[in-house]
């Protein structure tokens, strides 16, 4: 297949394919007229790259997966180098999650403090009053009366 068809089937652009070619991720064969030609294996490589890119891998991190597929493995993540990239990415993601969790906790604490302060400003505590309520219906006779 030619580059335009491959780009369409892979859901990308010819420009991206040329870029991958320049980075050595996509091997190019040329026909007798000099046109780039690609096969189903190239489509499989591109699908692997795209899946990895969509899940946060940078382009260079896809290289071991591509090489694994080129070596004839049915899946790009069945080689030791691919597994090492997965482990590295998990470590990186865990660090990001820890950092974001810390930031979230800080924001949560600030919000709780701000809500308490805002509630105190909008509903100030009443001033204490010292009033005596009149005694009614008690068992003691009013002053000056005898029972």
Domain-located, residue 131: no
> Residues near 81 by Cβ (< 8 Å), separated by ≥ 6?
64, 67, 68
Per-residue pLDDT in tens (0 to 9) along the chain, 147 residues: 999 999 999 999 999 999 999 999 999 899 999 999 999 999 999 999 999 999 999 999 999 999 999 999 999 999 999 999 999 999 999 999 999 999 999 999 999 999 999 888 887 767 777 777 666 665 555 555 555
Report the CATH number that the domain containing residue 46 is assigned in CATH.
Answer: 1.10.1660.10
What pLDDT does 129 receive?
Answer: 78
What spatial distance separates the first Cα and last Cα of the chain, rounded to whole Å?
117
Report the alpha-carbon angle 95-90-55, nearest 5. Answer: 110
Q: Check: CB of residue 12 under 8 Å from CB of residue 50.
A: yes
* Domain region containing 53: 3-120
Count: domains in the chain: 1
Residue environment code for 120-141, b if the CB has 16+ CB neighbours within 10 A, otherwise e: eeeeeeeeeeeeeeeeeeeeee
pLDDT at 100: 96
Alpha helices in the chain (DSSP H): 3-10, 14-22, 40-54, 63-70, 80-122
Task: Flag whether 56 is in a domain.
Answer: yes
């Amino acid at each position: 297949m030619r580059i335009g068809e491959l780009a369409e089937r892979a859901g990308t652009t010819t420009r991206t394919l040329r870029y991958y070619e320049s980075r050595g991720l996509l091997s190019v064969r040329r026909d007798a007229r000099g046109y780039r030609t690609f096969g189903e294996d190239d489509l499989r490589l591109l699908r692997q790259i795209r899946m990895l890119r969509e899940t946060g891998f940078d382009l260079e991190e896809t290289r071991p997966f591509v090489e694994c597929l080129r070596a004839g493995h049915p899946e790009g993540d069945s080689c030791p180098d691919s597994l090492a990239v997965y482990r590295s990415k998990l470590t990186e993601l865990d660090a990001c999650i820890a950092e974001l969790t810390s930031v979230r906790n800080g924001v949560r604490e600030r919000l709780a403090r701000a809500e308490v302060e805002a509630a105190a400003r909008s509903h100030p505590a009443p001033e204490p009053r010292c009033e005596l309520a009149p005694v009614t219906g008690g068992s003691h006779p009013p002053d000056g009366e005898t029972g």
